[in-house]
Structures are given as structure tokens and as C-alpha cells.
Amino acid sequence: MTTQRKAPDAARRNEAARRSILTAALDLAGEVGYARLSIEAIAARAGAGKQTIYRWWPSKGAVLFDALLMLAEGPTDEPADLPDTGDLEADLKTVLRATVAELNEPRYSEPMRALAIEILLDPALAADFAERLDEPMREIKRRRLRKAQRAGQIGPGVDLDVAVDLLWGPLKNRWLHREGPLTAEYADAVVETALDGLRPAAE
Amino acid sequence: MTTQRKAPDAARRNEAARRSILTAALDLAGEVGYARLSIEAIAARAGAGKQTIYRWWPSKGAVLFDALLMLAEGPTDEPADLPDTGDLEADLKTVLRATVAELNEPRYSEPMRALAIEILLDPALAADFAERLDEPMREIKRRRLRKAQRAGQIGPGVDLDVAVDLLWGPLKNRWLHREGPLTAEYADAVVETALDGLRPAAE
DNA sequence: ACTGTAATACGAGACGGTCCGTCTCGTCTA
DNA sequence: TAGACGAGACGGACCGTCTCGTATTACAGT
């Protein structure tokens, strides 16, 4: 008794169909938003049968996930490491400003928002996303902060996970909940306030 | 030509039906989660007709919103102001620990999560929520921080909106995205780190 | 290398199911 | 007597599964 009902043959997979499905998912997510995004519409737009989608992806969210991975695989791959010029504040501003720019780009932002919402609804997708993208990204951030901590630019008692939450969390919130405009100035203010703290500078 | 098709007569409203619908919504949200929460199920559970729901609420999210307001209207009403003992750090820890406790209470947390998700999908509900709950709450937080700033416990150059984001944002993120356990210790660490900043204490 | 055959992914869409939001009913109440 | 109420029928949108006939692929055996 196998748990798998069917194991589709990856060697026979139609690459053109895969690409047109992912592209259709991205386009539709950008055009109609998450609430009106349906697998039927994706299949119709892609000129694909619904079964082709269900054969290769377990859920709508998984399609979106792969679609965004395809979009991210641009010219160069692997973000590897965060910049380290020795100036922590400048480096963080560079990174967060880049994030702001990306989140203001509808081509990325709308499908990403759709994925974020789907993740809230689907624990299996959440686990997959956390393992394949979120946790690796967090480790990259943690690594940059750890170097800064060793260099004495971050206090020795600071929990680096809390530090990551403080730096990237506010941006994520503003973006997902559309709480306010996402600007480079806001990113800078977050970095400065997180680094210096709320208390006035000690004399 | 009126925009309103019908204006139901509030004076004739059945209070028992209203309460049983809101209670059913809360119970179902807690039992099956947002993904499986349907208006049909709420009506069935409440022993109400679907039309009764559609007559008084514009959307599923609006029902949840009212249900949570009903739940919050406990013994005493009006949270009014955040505590001010003069010790900003202690006061913030008190408040955030209370928030943590509330968010760990399934009776509040599950319907709240359902509402949070619905808000992401429904701009009209988002606007309503922001106006009636989120912005007033933010103003209360801002007011407490402003007092601290005047008392010299927060730097004069600090943007209080950014400060609110730094203090409450990480908690909200952990809760909504289930990124990690929501503990009093985490709340304390956020307060300490946000107040002191990431940089080592100046000598 | 060439070609025949079996396997299987593919596009298309039918199917029963759930839930949507609207619409009648007949009843009950203010 | 007007209007809210419980109940549920209705058409429509998608869901996820299934069954077609077609097209493509892997793997023979010569």
C-alpha cells in the first residue's frame, strides 16, 4: 500500500505547458488579485487542461510559489550574501531600500501578496515556503548581523532573531497590510531607529 | 435613483438572531478555521436564514468584525489609555505581555486570524477596520509614547509611528504568520531591543 | 540508425459537490 | 399591515476527479 496514488513521469513533462501555466498564474494574480484567482482561470489562460495543473502541483499556492521562483531566476541566480562594506547602517539601508523597490513593483508584488495570503490558509504550503525560502533568507540576514555583532557594531546581548524581526518585520507589515506608503525614507527610518533604539543617546 | 436597494428597519431587528449569528461565527471560526468558514455554515449553526445575515452585514468579514467586538465588550468597556507608571520599559512589557496572552487564547485568536485574513482580501473591510479599530488603537499607543518622549525617555528625533511599528509589528508578524512561539520572553526581548537599539551601549 | 509499439502526458471538458448571493415562500411579531 | 424572520430553491462560479481522443516520448527488435 503506497501513499502515492500516481507518480507522474518527470521525464515526459512538457516544459512549454509548465511555463505557460506559471506565466498565466503570474499574469492573472497581477490582473485580478488573489480573491479572484482560480485554477480554472489559470488553465484557461494558459491553454492547458486542469488535470495538467493538478498533476504537477498540489495546490494553487504551490503554482504561485513556483511561478515566483521562475520570475526570480533572472539573469544571475543565487543572492548568496548580503553586502558587507563594514558600514552596517549603510548596508542595511541598501538592502531594505532594494526590498522596498521590489515590493513596489507590481509585477513581483501582486503575485507575492497572493502567495503570502495563500500561505496563511495552507499549513503545508507554509512549511514548504518556510523551508525553501523564508528560513534560508533569514539565515542570510542573521549571518550578516552576526558578523556585525562580532565586529562590535551590535551589542553582544542582542538576540539576532529579534534583530531580524525588528528590521524586516515593519516593512513586511506595511506591505502586506497596506498600512502606509512603502518608501525608501521609511526603510531608512526603520534602520536608524532599530540601530539606535528609542531611548535618547546616552551622554 | 438611490444607491441603497433596501434600508432594513433597525427598530425591527431581532436581537436574539443577531447574537446567535455572531456566536455561531465565533464558534465556527475557532473550530474549522478561516478556510472552511462559510456563511451557509454560520446560518445553519445559528438556526438563521442566510438572508438574515445578508440583510445586516455586507460580508463574511463584517460578521467576524462585529462578533469580535461583541466578544471584546466584556465586563468593562473602553480600553482608554495604556498604563503610565513613569517606567516606559515596564509599561510596554506589561502591555505586550497582555497582548501575547490574548493572542495565545484560541477563543480570541482564531476568529481574529480569520478576520485578519479577510481584511487582506477585502479593501472595504480593511478601511472599516482601520478606521474603527486599528487607527484608534495606534493613536493610543502613539499617545503613550509621546508622553515618554516629552519626559525624555524617547529621543526627540524618533518618529513615533516607526516606534509603534518596531514595538508591535514583530508580535503581529509572529502571530499571524505562526513564525515562532509567542511568549512573554519574546515580548520582553522586543521591548528591550527596541528601546536600547541594536548598537552596543555607548560608553 | 530506423521504425513499430506501448506508455503516458496532454487539451478539453463533463461531472457531482460546495458555497456564493439573490429570490421567493409562509410565519410571526411589533 | 409592514417588515423581519427561518427555510430553502435557484443559477452561477470553482472545486477536484474523471474520462475522452490526440500527440509525444521511451524503448524495444531489426
Q: CB of A74 within 8 Å of any CB in chain B?
A: no
Q: Is the pLDDT of residue A46 over 50?
A: yes
Burial of A78 (0-12, 13-18, 19+ CB in 10 A): exposed
Q: Is the pLDDT of residue A49 over 90?
A: yes
Task: Delimit the CATH 1.10.357.10 region(s) of chain A.
Answer: 88-196
| CATH class in words for A10-72 | mainly alpha
Nucleotide nearest to A46 (CA to C1'): C11
> For strand C, is any atom closer than 7 Å to the CB of B50?
yes
Q: CB of A191 within 8 Å of any CB in chain B?
A: no
Task: Delimit the CATH 1.10.10.60 region(s) of chain A.
Answer: 10-72
CA of A40 to C1' of C13 (A): 12
Instruction: Report d(CA A52, CA B77) in Å as an integer.
Output: 55
Set of chain A residues whose Cβ sits within 8 Å of the Cβ of B171: none
> For strand D, is any atom closer than 7 Å to the CB of A4?
no
Q: Is the pLDDT of residue A3 over 50?
A: no
Name the superfamily (CATH) of residues B11-60: Homeodomain-like (1.10.10.60)
The three cell numbers locating residue A111: 503575485
> What single letter denotes the amino acid at residue A53?
I
Instruction: Report d(CA B96, CA B94) in Å as an integer.
Output: 6
Set of chain B residues whose Cβ sits within 8 Å of the Cβ of A198: 145, 154-155, 158, 163, 166, 194-195, 197
Q: Give CA separation, A22 vs A49, A70, B17, B117, in Å.
A: 13, 8, 46, 25
Band (pLDDT 50/70/90 cuts) for residue A203 is: low
Set of chain B residues whose Cβ sits within 8 Å of the Cβ of A145: 198
Q: Which nucleotides of D are covered by protein (CB under 7 A)?
A: 3-9, 13-19, 24-26
Set of chain B residues whose Cβ sits within 8 Å of the Cβ of A186: 162
Q: What is the mean pLDDT of chain A?
A: 93
203 residues of chain B, pLDDT tens digit each = 444 556 888 989 999 999 999 999 999 999 999 989 999 999 999 999 999 999 999 999 999 999 999 988 765 556 678 999 999 999 999 999 999 999 999 999 999 999 999 999 999 999 999 999 999 999 999 999 999 999 999 999 999 999 999 999 999 999 999 999 999 999 999 999 999 999 998 75
The three cell numbers locating residue A91: 548596508
The three cell numbers locating residue A193: 531607529
In B94-123, the residues whose Cβ lies within 8 Å of chain A are 113, 117, 119-122
Q: Residues A159, A100: contact at Cβ < 8 Å? A: no
DSSP assigned state of A130: I
Instruction: Report d(CA A75, CA A73) in Å as an integer.
Output: 7
How far is C-alpha B6 from the chain's CA centre?
A: 31
Q: Residues A111, A31: contact at Cβ < 8 Å? A: no
Q: Give CA separation, B104 vs B10, B97, B188, in Å.
A: 36, 11, 16
Nucleotide nearest to A52 (CA to C1'): C10
Task: Delimit the CATH 1.10.10.60 region(s) of chain B.
Answer: 11-60
CA of A35 to C1' of D13 (A): 13
Q: Model confidence over A99-135: pLDDT tens digits?
A: 999 999 999 999 999 999 999 999 999 999 999 999 9
Q: Model confidence over A56-109: pLDDT tens digits?
A: 999 999 999 999 999 987 655 566 789 999 999 999 999 999 999 999 999 999
Q: Model confidence over B155-199: pLDDT tens digits?
A: 999 999 999 999 999 999 999 999 999 999 999 999 999 999 999
Please tell me the predicted confidence (pLDDT) of residue A148: 97
Residues 41-60 of A with CB under 7 A from strand D: 41, 49-51, 54, 59-60
Q: CB of A166 within 8 Å of any CB in chain B?
A: yes
Set of chain B residues whose Cβ sits within 8 Å of the Cβ of A150: none
Q: Which fold has domain A88-196?
A: Tetracycline Repressor; domain 2 (1.10.357)
The three cell numbers locating residue A129: 515556503
3-state DSSP assignment of residue A33: coil
Instruction: Report d(CA B7, CA A186) in Å as an integer.
Output: 44
Instruction: Report d(CA B187, CA B160) in Å as an integer.
Output: 19
Instruction: Report d(CA A187, CA A100) in Å as an integer.
Output: 7
The three cell numbers locating residue A58: 498540489
CA of A45 to C1' of C9 (A): 19
Please tell me the predicted confidence (pLDDT) of residue B2: 44
Q: If you write DSSP's letter for every residue of B28-48 in order, what string do you get?
A: HHHHHTGGG--HHHHHHHHT-
